[in-house]
Amino acid sequence: MMKTLTISAACLINDQGQILLVRKRGTTKFMQPGGKPEPGETPIEAVMREVSEELGVDFEAKDLEPYGEWSGPAANEEDTSIQAYLFAARFNGSPEPLAELEELLWIDPRDALLRNDIAPLLREHVLPTLLANANDMGA
């Protein structure tokens, strides 16, 4: 039986137009930082908490622009789909992988689309949207 997870994810873009991707320990797919909300959390509260826990980076709600919603297959869990709430922000820094993260990667969205190790959410929605709207994020 297919289960659905609700997540909030951040599209963090630097001044070079690169997106920050993360890979969780024990997984093979890169994705945006983020995760599941705790009981009572709004999507934006969840993404702020998750980014702080995973990267040690704190954002205020006013710094995060709503970037849409997406439903599709989960990257690292079989028989699972996700309902993703996306937020975008400018970020120039060198965060360290914390919590369950094993690896970080700053990458141009065009180059990311050439990889075989990116999550469906990135391949099907985030990267094409970033490329179509590159001027909106200053890329």
User: Could you report the per-residue pLDDT of 45-57, keeping only the tens digit for each?
Assistant: 999 999 999 999 9
Highest mean pLDDT among 9-13, 68-72, 79-83, 131-135: 9-13
Whole domain around residue 10: which residue ranges?
A: 3-133
| Residue 138 counted as domain residue | no
| Residue 104 counted as domain residue | yes
**How confident is the model at residue 14, as a pLDDT?**
96
Question: Is the whole model's pTM more than 0.85, yes or no?
Answer: yes
Q: Tell me, what CATH number does 121's domain have?
A: 3.90.79.10
Q: Are 8 and 96 in contact (CB under 8 A)?
A: no
Q: Are 44 and 8 in contact (CB under 8 A)?
A: yes
Range scoring the smallest mean pLDDT among 60-74, 81-95, 123-137:
123-137
Q: Pick 60 or 138 by higher pLDDT.
A: 60
Element (H, E) at 112: helix 109-112
| Residue 92 counted as domain residue | yes
Q: How far is Cα 84 from Cα 11, in angstroms, rounded to an integer?
A: 12
Our count of domains for the chain comes to 1
Residue 86, beta-bridge partner list = 9
The structure tokens listed for 37 are 């909300």
b (16+ CB within 10 A) / e for 19-54: bbbbbbeebebbbbbbbebeeeeebbebbbbbbeeb
User: Could you report the per-residue pLDDT of 37-46, keeping only the tens digit for each?
Assistant: 999 999 999 9
